[in-house]
Every structure is written in structure tokens, then in C-alpha cells.
Structure 1
Amino acid sequence: EVKKTSDPQGWQMTRDVLQVHLEGLLEEVAEYQTLNSLEPQGAITLKAHWLTELPQILIKARIAANLSQEELAAIVGVTEEKIRSSEKNNYALTPFTTILDIAAALGIELESATFAVDFAEVNRLRQRLPIIGNRTRTA
């Protein structure tokens, strides 16, 4: 209450940030409950708009399949600690071949993909590089 009266703008900003976090957590809990309540029969569709979302797809698929980390580890042939650590770190340090094995064990299939290659972005990043060999820069 003191902060609310002494710094109403700061209090409101803090409250708004906390509200956004709370709403995000509530959405995650609702999604978890939905995934956890599915009967692991047939198929579900999980959408991702970027490759960085793949770790969450793997975790959601495991939950929807009603598989524990221990069960997934046994199917894939890795330790439970490896699965636990991979999920905790969003698969950041997990070898790509292991990610593919996990995806296969979870029955994940890529139905379609379209990749847009932005050469302007490539060229912008290339401009930061020193000239390598005889190669001349292109704009």
C-alpha cells in the first residue's frame, strides 16, 4: 500500500507485469491439464511457427502421450536424467540426433514446412565479416 500511494505509476507498472506473468502461468497450467487429460490414442496436432519451438513440442507430446520422463528415456535408450536435463534446458545441449530419436519415439511427424530464406538478412550479417580469401563483398 505504501508503494501504491508513494509511487502509483511504478506500482501500476509492477502490477501489470505481474498480471501478465500470472496470465501466462494460468495459460500454461490450462494447457498442461488439457494435454495431461488426453487419451493417448489417435493423433493430435501441435503447431509451431519457428524451429525454436521444437523443444516445447517434444515436451507437450510426451505429456499428451502420458509418458513419464523415465518411460521416454527407456524407449529412446538414454537415462532419465538425460531426458530431465534436456527438458529443463529446452534441449539446448541435446545432440540433434537424440532430438530426432525422441521425436520418433513420440510419434512426431512433420506434416509440412515452408521456410522463407531472407537473403537480405544473410547479406546484412555478411557485411559484418572481414573479407575472407579472394571473396569480395556483395551488397
Structure 2
Amino acid sequence: MTSTTLTSSRHRFATLAAAAVALAGALMTASPALAAPPQPYGTVIAEHGVYVHSHPFVGSHRLALLSRGTEVGLHCEVVGEPVDGNKIWYQLREHIGGQLSWVTARWVRNTGRVPACPSSPRLTREETAPVEQNPRQDGPLG
């Protein structure tokens, strides 16, 4: 190997090593927005998203729409209106518009243990009637 070839090889190695260090540093200091929220948290699994409600039943006011793959912090769970046979609703850690916010567990996969809410909202019989939803429908769910 000539000295020119050796110098060129060292230069390429140094360049690649610097790039690897820069990439590793960027990955370790990634924006907190890209990190999952603290447990327990939920991930929206419905293809067209899921609505956030003001109470744990579908007929309550819709506060927001969460897209598929969105991760949200879960505060606690209650038994609410069944959605496709699932009676569990999660209260989100974040309030929306100053209100408590809820999503049906039917369309949110939880990570970590979600505790029961200390006090559950009172629901009327009409509000807890079963709701059948087709997961293949074209719009958001829950």
C-alpha cells in the first residue's frame, strides 16, 4: 500500500467514524415528542382513528379525533358504554378544553397497567345501551 492510499483510507475511516458518532448523538438526543409517553399509555389501533369524548359513552360530546398510531397517556379506566362488546373506557391524562377526556378501550391498545378510576361518572340506562360498531366502517370510531 502506498502512503497516498493509506492516507486516503485513514481519511475515509475518520469521516465514517465522525458520521457514526454524529448519528448516535442525534438518536440519543431525539426530541421528547418522538418518545412514548410514560406508562400507562395507549396507542390508537383503529384504522380511521378514534374520537375523544367528554364522558365514557359514544353519545357524549366529541372533543377531538386521534389518528391511528397516536400514543396518549392514560390516567385510569372505568366501565362505560359497551363498544363492540368492550365496556372499558380510558380517561386520558390530558384534559381537552379544560374537560376530562375519554376514549373507548375497543380502539386503543394499552401499554402498562391502567388503574381503575377512583370515582366513576354516573351514566343513565340510555347512555350505557350497547353500541355495535363495524370496525370496517369508513370513518373514525368511538
Query: Does TM, normalized by the shorter one, top 0.5?
Result: no
- Give TM class, smaller chain: under 0.3
Please say which structure displays the higher CA radius of gyration: 2
- Which structure is higher in strand share? 2
TM-score (norm 2): 0.26
**Higher RCO (C-alpha under 8 Å, 6+ residues apart):** 2
